[in-house]
Structure 1
Amino acid sequence: MGDDQRALARLDQVIHDQSGVVSRRQVLDCGLDSAYVRQRLRRRAWCALLHTWPSALSHRSAWMLLTGRGSTAGPIHVAVDARRNLRRVDGIVVQYRSDYDDAAVATVAPPRVRLEQTVIDLAADATTAVEVIAVLSDAVGSRRTTAMRLLAALDARCRTQNGRFIRDILDDVHAATCSVLEHEYLTAVERAHGLPAPLRQAPTGVGRPGFRDLDYPEWGVVVELDGRLGHADAVSLTVLQLAPSRVTT
């Protein structure tokens, strides 16, 4: 038996022991690689899409397809036209959209909801303010989109759960707050204490090329709030709870 066969045998045993569910880390621990994970995820996605066709990947399923980031556990999320009524199936979460024709990109494989609409969906579904900030700042900070494009996507909807809060955060993200901690600094330190506005995400030629979180050149002060980990980790801050949401477009 070759190495690949042994790895697949180990994976089959894990899947059997866990009632058909396995994490990405467990797949890698069995000796398989990220390409195998992506292949299996795409197969799952296609199964869900074909079962609900015509449809498009949405929410965190679309986000994973676009970025390769997020949890591989849980159901596949798909979007369909709001005029349809599908029978519920285990492992598939159906989102009914009145703007399906505009939101879905049918010319890619597998079909998916557009990036900006996906980000707004995830922000609207967030149950805490810190999750909203993390979703929006991550999408813009990774340079996959811009705050202005997300605001345009938000404006295109009739209404969105937590829409006013999302708009306020996007205004701050447009001002170059690129992480949860940077947004917390803006609201709880800079604004609360009447500090002057710094240069945000200012390029630096000192040491390794990159960007400073906050630069006060008039006073010769640079503030670094977080590194790459901090931009992706939102769980360390505790802020107000938001009501659970259902996106309505």
Structure 2
Amino acid sequence: MDLASAHDVLRSQDGVISRTQAFDCGLDDSDLERLLRRRELARIHPGVYVDHTGRPTWTQRAWAGVLFHWPAALGGSSALRAHGVRSAAGEGTGVSLLDREMSPGRPALEPVEVVVDASRRVAPPEGVLVTRRTDFERRVQLHLSPPRLRLDEALLDVASSCPDEATAVAVLADACQQRVTTAARLHDVLSSRGRLSRRQLLLPILDDVAAGTMSVFERRYLHGVERSHGLPTARRQVKVVTRRGVTYRDVEYSDFAVVVELDGRFVHAGPGREWADLERDVDAVARGESTLRLGWAHILEPCRASVLVGRLLRSRGWEGEPGSCGRDCRAGGGGRRAA
């Protein structure tokens, strides 16, 4: 029995090892049973073990799901979590047999999502969800720890399964805002994919993200206020260097020296944030620019907001007027409606 080799595998896999790997290290079934009796190992799934008897961590559960189905990789929100994407789901409502046995009455855990080759037929244990994928080897990164679906593939899978458009925007925009991918890369991967549900929803979302809308809030402004009422096309996420460092403007109508800052209350909260916003606005005035700060209350009345933005733009030289977005529009200044 070569415990040293087995310990090396355990260290490299966050304390998880499969029966096959243990055999490769020189152990046999008698050795494994002895380690289980000594409580040096505990069974997570049939043929998969962890090096303690406590509650497994998420990474250990992820490794266990991958090793049980090997060759396999994390998929969906599990892959995003392994990649470090902020919007990836955390512990939720799925439950594994081990969780119930070890901690009855405790909250259930988010299922681990795993992908395998499309040619395989598998029976996953409780707590693991399996998806079969064509072109498996090209779409996964088996060398990562733990193995996982490529980031862009996982993002598109999760976005396509979101319950609504707003959630899909949040998933894709958040990843681009983290600089872990780009809208162009996602667009290329989406174009190369075969069938994918909600493709026609994802394509315009990616176009908007490429244009700089980095949140659901900003996309609501782009469509509901700017485009629907024929306002000039703004620049988005404009990098500005100030004496306090680098910042990014949400919306900038550079031809008219007008800046629109979109203040989602979960982003711009607290006295520190309010002082920073005030300092940014004063800096803009000092440069001869005008800043209009809009919150959710304003974006939820897009017609009214378009009138205010249009009034400020006209004061700075814009010769147009906000157009009507429909029969009940409150803007309707006679301007041309955006195509």
Which TM-score applies when normalising by structure 1? 0.74
Shift of 1:68: 5.9
Distance in 2 (alpha carbons) for counterparts of 1:82 and 1:152: 22
Matched, 1:182 2:199: no
Shift of 1:229: 4.0
Matched, 1:80 2:116: yes
Contact 1:181 1:230 in 2 (8 A): no
- Greater shift, 166-175 or 197-206, is seen at 197-206
Distance in 2 (alpha carbons) for counterparts of 1:105 and 1:124: 21
Match of 2:257 among 207, 215, 220: 220
Aligned residue number for residue 115 of structure 1: 151
Gaps of 5+ in 1: 1-36, 239-249
Aligned residue number for residue 206 of structure 2: 170
- Higher Cα radius of gyration: 2
Distance in 2 (alpha carbons) for counterparts of 1:134 and 1:52: 31
Distance in 1 (alpha carbons) for counterparts of 2:158 and 2:267: 20
Contact 1:79 1:97 in 2 (8 A): yes
Q: 1:172-209, CA deviations, whole angstroms, 9 ceiling, x for partnerless residues?
A: 11111111111111111111000111121111234532
Matched, 1:48 2:85: no
Distance in 2 (alpha carbons) for counterparts of 1:79 and 1:228: 37
Distance in 1 (alpha carbons) for counterparts of 2:65 and 2:241: 48
Distance in 1 (alpha carbons) for counterparts of 2:263 and 2:146: 35
- CA gap of 1:110–1:125, structure 2 versus 1, over 3 A, is same
Amino acid at match of 1:153: V
Work out the number of aligned pairs and report it.
Answer: 197
Task: Point out which structure has higher relative CO (alpha carbons under 8 A, 6+ apart).
Answer: 1
Distance in 2 (alpha carbons) for counterparts of 1:54 and 1:144: 26
Shift of 1:99: 2.3
Secondary structure at 2:255 match in 1: coil
- CA gap of 1:180–1:200, structure 2 versus 1, over 3 A, is same
What pairs with 1:30-49 in structure 2 (closer than 5 Å)? 40-49=57-66
Shift of 1:79: 0.4
**Matched-pair identity in %:** 39
Q: CA RMSD of the aligned region, Å?
A: 2.3
Contact 1:56 1:112 in 2 (8 A): yes
Contact 1:81 1:96 in 2 (8 A): yes
Which TM-score applies when normalising by structure 2? 0.55
